[in-house]
Structure 1
Amino acid sequence: MLKREDNERLCRVGPGTPMGELFRRYWIPAVLSEELPAADCPPVRVRLLGEDLVAFRDTNGKVGLLDAYCPHRRAHLFWGRNEECGLRCVYHGWKFDTNGQCLDTPNEPPTSDFKHSVKLKAYPVYEKAGVIWTYMGPKEQQPGYPDYEWMRAPENCRNVSKTFEACNWLQALEGGIDTSHSSFAHNNNIADKNALRTRATAPKLEVVKTDYGFKYAGIRDLKEDNHYVRAYQFLMPAQQMRGAMIRWTDGKMEQFPSIAGHVWVPIDDANVWVYNILYSSDVHIPFTPEFVKKHEKDFGRGEEDMLPGYKLVRNPSNDYLIDREVQRTETFTGISGINTQDYALQETMEQPFCDRTKEKLGTADTAIIAARQLLLEATRDVEAGKTPRGADPETHSRVRGCDQFLPKGVDWKEALLEEMTAKF
């Protein structure tokens, strides 16, 4: 249970809020590179941490992320002309470069030097691994560029996608670091009593705090078959990595050396972007297009599952197309798509965010409790002028998630140390 003031502190992300200021001390994803596919392509609307922005790629391929509203009369720059190394407002022709500097004010007299005094707010960007990142905090506290292992994986060993989720960012993140719900919400074959998460529905959780966040394991006792251990990484402020080697297809266990995860980026207090990460844990085993396509489909992100704007076909307006007969006879939820099942539960919680003063948490919520503690601690560190945990890329560059079978009595922290160390 959280105090009401702590719940507000964790959930509100606008400028000047404790959590909003915390997020502004990290590099966060702004858009996918595919959203700005070519020089002088159409600009895109961006909303991050309660701020309206516009992103564009100029004639030289450089990306700009600017205040969405022209400083002249506050027209939205999404309508702008992307031309000759600048974005030109179509209301009166004012033009801005990727740094926000005004280049031209054609409705002013030719002799005027007014343009030199006009500059639009612009945030620095960094493009790598199919993602355009931004830093929205104080310039003097800007950390080094993000350097997660998945960003260093070869392109044919990595897939990054994006989905819109209509809920507060913390509801989404807490679903991602909650391992026990997979025995229920993601039980897609209720007839199979031998599935790992059906055989052991109450994993033992162990959390170890680190300088980047924490690592933790969900340990499932499979009786005569030893332990199944799924080891996670929680990287401040809002990223999860987990082992994804052991997969289930049509009730059968498959193994593929892969690691999965998410990055949750608050849009505002009531909506979040979810960046979905999958990469091969072995550089010698790249992904095939068929594998990636099937993975996205399994998680509810296949081509036929998506609407424009990275939104899901299955959403609150159509009750996620729940099939009660399928729920009765085949799957636990009757909803298709692993992440869609999450969204159905998270998007229909209290709005704009959960009242956590009413919760009854148990041992299955150990990781969630730890994340809240670290996030609250970090907001207070920022208020005290300190660098928050995990902002320095050196702290997070050498970690990964994994899942393995281990003999009983073996300490996962020792046995999986090598497996949880980056190889790229």
Structure 2
Amino acid sequence: MLKKEDNEKLCLIGPETPMGQVFRRYWIPALLSEELSEPDGAPVKVRLLGEDLVAFRDTNGTVGLMDAYCPHRRAHLFWGRNEECGLRCVYHGWKFDTTGQCVDTPNEPATSDFKHSVKLTSYPTWEKAGIIWTYMGPKELQPDYPDYEWLRTPDNYRHVSKTYEHCNWLQALEGGIDTSHSSFAHNNNIADKNALRSRSTAPKLEVVKTPYGFKYAGIRDLKEDGNYIRGYQFIMPAQQMRGAMTRWTDGKREEFPSIAGHLWVPIDDSNVWVFNFIYSADVEIPFTKEFVLDHETAFGRGSEDVLPGYRLKRNASNDFLIDREVQRTQTFTGIAGINTQDYALQETMEQPFCDRTKEKLGTADTAIIAARQMLLEAIRDVEAGKMPRGSDPSTSRSVRGCDRFLPKGVDWKEGLMEDMSAKF
């Protein structure tokens, strides 16, 4: 369990908080490229790390991300006109370019140079792999762009999406790096006693610290069939990568080696954006539209499952449409969608965040304990003026997750070395 003060340090992410300062040392996803699909299109409200922002794509295609409120009279710039390389406030016509610089104050005298002294807080952006990234920390400490393997894959080898989750970011992250819960929460065929995670429900966890975070393995003993091992990567401050040995086709699982994962980006202390990605593990096998549709549907993110604003139709207001008869006869939870099952559990924990002083952790929580220790280490590093672990993108460019069977007696750190190394 955590001390109360450490729990608060990890959960609170506002601009002046210790964890908020840690997040501001990394490039993080701000929104999907599809949200700003065309130049001079409608601006978008963005809330990140407790700050209200507005994003827009200007006439040249450059993305601006800046304070949501006009510095004149604090009107919200979401109502603004996106025109001629700038966002113009509709209250009095003040106009700002993508750097936040005011370039026009038409309600002031034509001879006035007042506009030159007015600038909004703005954050740099970078667009890659269907995501608009931002860096919200000190300019002089800005690191190089991320270079994860999934960012380097061709577009038809990769799919990204995002969903809104109503809970503290740490609850979501810890659910993602927990491996043993898949034998229970994600058991979608309780009658199949031969399923891998049903045959061994108590995986042994091993964690190895790295310059970017840590890699870890969930080792399941399948007796005469050897060990089934899922190899994970935890990349600071809030990314998980894992192997995805199977694909979904018409609701059925087929072998199709791929790597999947999530990035958790705090909206504020009580809400989080979950950016989801999956990419082919094989440089010779691109994705098909059918695969992407089947995958997203299986995880509860299909086109029929998501409301405007990337919110799930199955949510706490309707008890995630739990079906108790399905729970009794077919699946462990009675809730459809793998990630929806996660959200049901994570969103209905204590609010605004869990009281971790009351927890009783076991060996199955090894990765969660390691992540907390590493995040607290990052807080101490930033407070000491150091760059936190993983902020150098070169440390994580060559890693990936994997699923594999290994013979008994083969150490996963050796046996999976090649499979956990980037190929793109």
What TM-score does the superposition give when structure 2 sets the normalisation length?
0.99
Residue of structure 2 in register with 1:85 after alignment: 85
> Gaps spanning 5+ residues in structure 2: where?
none
Residue of structure 1 in register with 2:345 after alignment: 345
- Residues 248 and 291 in structure 2, CA contact (< 8 A), matched pair in contact too: no
- Residues 237 and 390 in structure 2, CA contact (< 8 A), matched pair in contact too: yes
Residue of structure 2 in register with 1:239 after alignment: 239
- Residues 43 and 57 in structure 1, CA contact (< 8 A), matched pair in contact too: yes
What per-residue deviation string (whole Å, max 9, x for no partner) do you get for residues 361-390 of structure 1?
000000000000000000110000001000
Residue of structure 2 in register with 1:361 after alignment: 361
Instruction: Classify 1:359/1:16 alpha carbon distance in 2 versus 1 (closer, same or farther; 3 Å).
Output: same
Residue of structure 1 in register with 2:34 after alignment: 34
Distance in 2, Cα, partners of 1:41 & 1:284 = 37
Distance in 2, Cα, partners of 1:250 & 1:371 = 36
Read off the aligned partner of 2:344 and give its amino acid letter: A
Distance in 1, Cα, partners of 2:254 & 2:38 = 39
What per-residue deviation string (whole Å, max 9, x for no partner) do you get for residues 92-125 of structure 1?
0000000000010000011111001100111001
Residue of structure 2 in register with 1:60 after alignment: 60
Instruction: Give 1:257 shift.
Output: 1.5
- Residues 192 and 251 in structure 1, CA contact (< 8 A), matched pair in contact too: no
Instruction: Give 1:218 shift.
Output: 0.1
What per-residue deviation string (whole Å, max 9, x for no partner) do you get for residues 319-365 of structure 1?
00000000000000000000000000000000000000000000000
What TM-score does the superposition give when structure 1 sets the normalisation length?
0.99
Residue of structure 2 in register with 1:308 after alignment: 308
Residue of structure 2 in register with 1:294 after alignment: 294
Read off the aligned partner of 1:281 and give its amino acid letter: A
Distance in 2, Cα, partners of 1:252 & 1:154 = 26
Residue of structure 2 in register with 1:258 after alignment: 258
Read off the aligned partner of 1:239 and give its amino acid letter: Q
- Residues 189 and 251 in structure 1, CA contact (< 8 A), matched pair in contact too: no
Instruction: Give 1:39 shift.
Output: 0.4
Distance in 2, Cα, partners of 1:159 & 1:254 = 18
Read off the aligned partner of 2:48 and give its amino acid letter: L
Number of equivalences: 424
Instruction: Give 1:255 shift.
Output: 1.1
- Verify: 1:12 aligned to 2:43, yes or no: no
Instruction: Give 1:246 shift.
Output: 3.4
Kindly report which structure 2 residues correspond to 1:4-153, keeping only aligned pairs within 5 A, or say none: 4-153=4-153
What per-residue deviation string (whole Å, max 9, x for no partner) do you get for residues 159-209 of structure 1?
000000000000000000000000000000000000000000000000000
Cα RMSD, aligned residues only = 1.0
Distance in 1, Cα, partners of 2:226 & 2:249 = 22
Distance in 2, Cα, partners of 1:304 & 1:253 = 21
- Residues 249 and 294 in structure 2, CA contact (< 8 A), matched pair in contact too: no
SS in 2 for 1:257: strand
- Residues 239 and 262 in structure 1, CA contact (< 8 A), matched pair in contact too: yes
Instruction: Classify 1:107/1:367 alpha carbon distance in 2 versus 1 (closer, same or farther; 3 Å).
Output: same
Residue of structure 2 in register with 1:203 after alignment: 203
- Residues 246 and 403 in structure 1, CA contact (< 8 A), matched pair in contact too: no
Distance in 2, Cα, partners of 1:262 & 1:213 = 15
Distance in 2, Cα, partners of 1:272 & 1:92 = 34
What per-residue deviation string (whole Å, max 9, x for no partner) do you get for residues 257-291 of structure 1?
20000000000000000000100011210110000
